[in-house]
Amino acid sequence: MKIGLFIPCYINAIYPEVGVAAYKLLSSYGIDVDYPLNQTCCGQPMANAGFEDKAVPLANQFDKLFNEYEYVVSPSPSCAVFVKENYPPLLKKHGHVCQTSEKIYDICEFLHDILKVNTIPGTFPHKVSIHNSCHGVRELHLSSASELNIPRFSKIKDLLHLVKGIEVLEPEKVDECCGFGGMFSIEEPETSVCMGQDKVKNHMNTGAEYITGADSSCLMHMQGIVEREKLPIKFIHVVQILAAGL
């Protein structure tokens, strides 16, 4: 199995350790992991800001670059969703049939649904509270949405339970938005910050040492609040926990 590893631009620029952890974790399962050096932003920021046409060249570049791989895997639900859901109609308007939308997976989704892993190499003897990002819950179905009358599930929690020494916790209002929302945090900063403060409080009420999740953007938003208010809780991407010790 050969996969193309897609590392979103903000992870590459701000959280490169998440990209490194993703590479190490996937490689530990004997997968042939390739990181195409010419990859760029997927175009989500432009499209979310109302400039869809600016995202088209990036979508074309992505589709061409990653088409050769059996799977495309990314440590970011929001970027994976943008490729999966937005690329086909975006490229269709310009006469191109998207080849990669059916191949892309968030790394937790890939480990859980495709590889079906039953062992995790890492050890992490800490209490962690899971943050469920909106894209991950409602578009990739990494966990059940609380507004639906369906049995509860969480693929991230399933994976974390395989890590030695960990205590996995969940906050009240388990899938409530943290307030980031990309452009929402810029256009409605006061509301965004209030939502983030409420979310951080719920996470801290679990007694966790760390807040973890699959989207660095959500973690970054809450971490900014924690650092400004000097609160005693830390942040770590779920992939870093799964790859701990590698």
Q: What is the pLDDT along the chain (246 residues), one digit of tens a residue?
A: 999 999 999 899 999 999 999 999 999 999 999 999 999 999 999 998 899 999 999 999 999 999 999 999 999 999 999 999 999 999 999 899 999 999 999 999 999 999 999 999 889 999 999 999 999 999 999 999 999 989 999 999 999 999 999 999 999 999 999 988 877 877 888 999 999 999 999 999 999 999 999 999 999 999 999 999 999 999 999 999 999 989
pTM of the model: 0.94
Phi then psi dihedrals of residue 165, to 5 deg: 85, -5
**% helix / strand / coil in the chain, to the nearest 5?**
45, 15, 40
Residue 9, CA distances (Å) to 23, 39, 43, 162, 182 in order:
16, 9, 10, 29, 14
Q: Phi/psi of residue 113, each to 5°?
A: -95, -35
| Lookup: tokens for 10 | 């903000």
The C-alpha atoms of residue 138 and residue 175 are separated, in whole angstroms, by: 9
